Amino acid sequence: MHLWPKIIKRPITTRPTLGTKPIEIESIDPSLQVNVHTLFAEFNRLTNFECGEGKRIENVVSWTVDRHKAYDDFRNRFSQDKLVSLEKLCEDFRQFLYFKNNLSWTTLYRSGTAALSNPERLWKLITFIQDESITIQNRVVGALEGKYYTRGIGTNILTALLHVFGPDKYGVWNSRTVDTLNLIKRKPEASSDMGRKYLAINRELIKLCAELDADLTTIDGLMWYVSKRLKSQLVELT
C-alpha cells in the first residue's frame, strides 16, 4: 500500500513527560512506494526520541536549534582568526568528530582521527574548504582527490564540515543521504567526478528544502530518520 500524503504540521514543542520511555522508530519496507511529504510529517512529529549515542531529544525543533548552536561554536573555532596553533586545531577537530559535541553525526571519529596524524595538512584542508572564492565543485575535488586530500577525511566528514561552515548552502553527503535519496527516488545519476556528484546531491537536498519548507539541517535530520527506518527493515529481513 502507498504512504499517502498527510497535512504537514509544525513540530510539537511541548516537553515530554519525564521518565517516559523514548519512542522507537519503526522500520519501513523499501519495496513500498513512499511519499516524502508523509515521511517529513512523521519526522516532524517525533518527540522524546534518541538521535544518537543514547541522547534523548525533546522534539525535532529543539534538536535543530541545538545543532545550529554546535555549528556556530565549531565555525568560530575553525575560523581563520582562531586557527592559531596546530595543538588547538587538533583539540577542536577531535571534539568535532564526536556526536556529544557536534550533535549531528555519530561515526565521524572512526576515520576522522587519522587526520590528526598530519595536523599541518588538516590545517590546509580546513582553510581551503572555507575559501568561497573557489567553486564548491573544485573544493570538493581538491579535498577528496587533489592536493588537499587528508587521510581520514571522506565525503561524510568533508560535507559535514562544509555544512557547518555554510548550513544554508551545503548539505551533507553520507551513507544516510544516499540511502534516503535512493528510497524516495531522488538519487542523481552517477558521476565519476566527485565535485559534480556532490553538486547533484546538494541540488536535490536544496530542492527538498524548498518543497518541505525546511532548512538543510532539518533535511539532514530527515535523511537520518528515513535511513534509520530503512536499515531497521533490512536488519529484520536478514
Tell me the pLDDT tens digit for each residue of 7-33.
333 333 333 444 455 555 666 665 566
Query: pLDDT band at residue 229, thresholds of 50, 70 and 90?
Result: confident
* pTM, rounded to two decimals: 0.86
Q: What is the pLDDT of residue 237?
A: 35
Other C-beta atoms lying within 10 Å of the C-beta of residue 153:
24
For the chain, the structural domain boundaries read: 46-238
Instruction: Report residue 57: phi and psi, to 5°.
Output: -110, 135
Task: Give the least confident one: 13-17, 28-32, 75-79, 161-165.
Answer: 13-17
What are residue 59's DSSP bridge partners? 47
What are residue 52's DSSP bridge partners? 55
Residue 48 zone, left/alpha/beta (φ > 0; ψ -120 to 50; rest): left
Q: What is the pLDDT of residue 129?
A: 98
Q: What is the pLDDT of residues 177-201, one digit of tens each?
A: 999 999 999 999 888 999 999 999 9
The DSSP code sequence of 54-116 is TEEEEEHHHHHHHHHHHHHHHHHHTSGGG---HHHHHHHHHHHTSHHHHSS-S-THHHHGGGG
pLDDT of residue 59 exceeding 90: yes
Q: Check if the beta carbon of residue 201 is closer than 8 Å to that of residue 188.
A: yes
First to last CA, the chain: 23
